[in-house]
A and B are shown apart, each in its own frame.
Chain A
Amino acid sequence: MDRTFTLVDGEAESTVPASAIDALTAGARPLAVDHDERVAYLGTPAGARAARLASLEAPDFSLPDLAGGKHALSDHRGRKVLLVAYASW
């Protein structure tokens, strides 16, 4: 019996047959699978990430502040930016 999986690809989620997960396992993108929970998660290949960083063009992102307002790195084009990653841990 071909039970279905939830496939997570960024913000998108879809229901796919197990055979589709088998096909993705051999694919170009990193795939994490939980067979008990029937969930699979697609990541981004190292080659794509490395090529973008090596181009020295900063990848853009959009993330929320504490109030939920979204901010993109590209909002600051025309200014120098000190980008700081930190954490409470």
Chain B
Amino acid sequence: MLHEELAGFGFTVVTVALDKSPDDARPWIEAARPSHPSLIDTGHVLADLFNIVNVPTVLWIDERGRIVRPNDVAFGTDTFKHITGLESGQSLAAIRAWVRGETPACTEDEIRALQSLPTAEDQQARAEFGLGEWLFRRGRPEAAARHFARAGELAPHDFTIRRGTMPMRGIDPMGPDFRRMLGEWTAAGQPYYRPLPDPRG
């Protein structure tokens, strides 16, 4: 795995599962048996802080705690390539080269040009998500569902909300409701995954 391969270069992977409970993420974590921190984020703290709107999303952070490559789509394997059309090889090679010091990360101008910053609607959607999640934890799933729905209307591009709340609404996130949502989204000309363009062309 990347973490073990590159740990000697002063590098760590930190994974964060945006799931409704630790038990949802547990089978994945126990199967992978990671030696790096593997964290659980039921409240979507990370999504709020970094304006993350889908998974998988990766960021590069340097030794000083600076963002040196903004939110991007990257897969660690080609397991889902037949569905996503995205290959893992190029992003893994780029990470290796950055960690080994062979190529620099993005410049600050490149990062700012590639960053998506949250809008007022995005943050209102996250407040609606937060209220919904609070209600769900207190045994009020029907009230929670109202706020998850409102959040999805405010931020229709945010699949951490539209798909990520499906398990809290009793909806199969791999099932027909998801496929219908995805079909409507892509038919409107919107991409489900938004990988960054290569900043160096």
- Write the residues of chain A forming the contact surface with B, with a CB cutoff of 8 angstroms: 8, 29-34, 36-37, 39-46, 49-50, 52-54, 56-61, 63-66, 71, 73-89
Contacts and interface: CB of A to CB of B under 8 A. Distances in A.
26 contacts: A30-B120, A30-B126, A32-B124, A32-B128, A34-B146, A34-B147, A39-B131, A44-B123, A46-B118, A46-B119, A46-B123, A49-B51, A49-B117, A58-B67, A60-B65, A64-B40, A66-B26, A66-B29, A71-B14, A76-B14, A77-B65, A78-B63, A82-B60, A84-B58, A86-B28, A86-B56
B147 A58 contact: no
Given A40-B131, A82-B13, A84-B58, A32 B65 contact: no
A82 B14 contact: yes
Interface residues on B, range: 35 or more
Contacts of B56: 84-86
Contacts of B64: 77
Interface stretch (B81-89, B162-170, B184-192): B162-170
Nearest to B140: A37
Contact of A41 (B99, B122, B130): B130
B127 A86 contact: no
B146 to A, nearest CB: 7
The DSSP consensus for interface residues of chain A is mixed
B134 A88 contact: no
Contacts of B18: 85-87
B149 interface: no
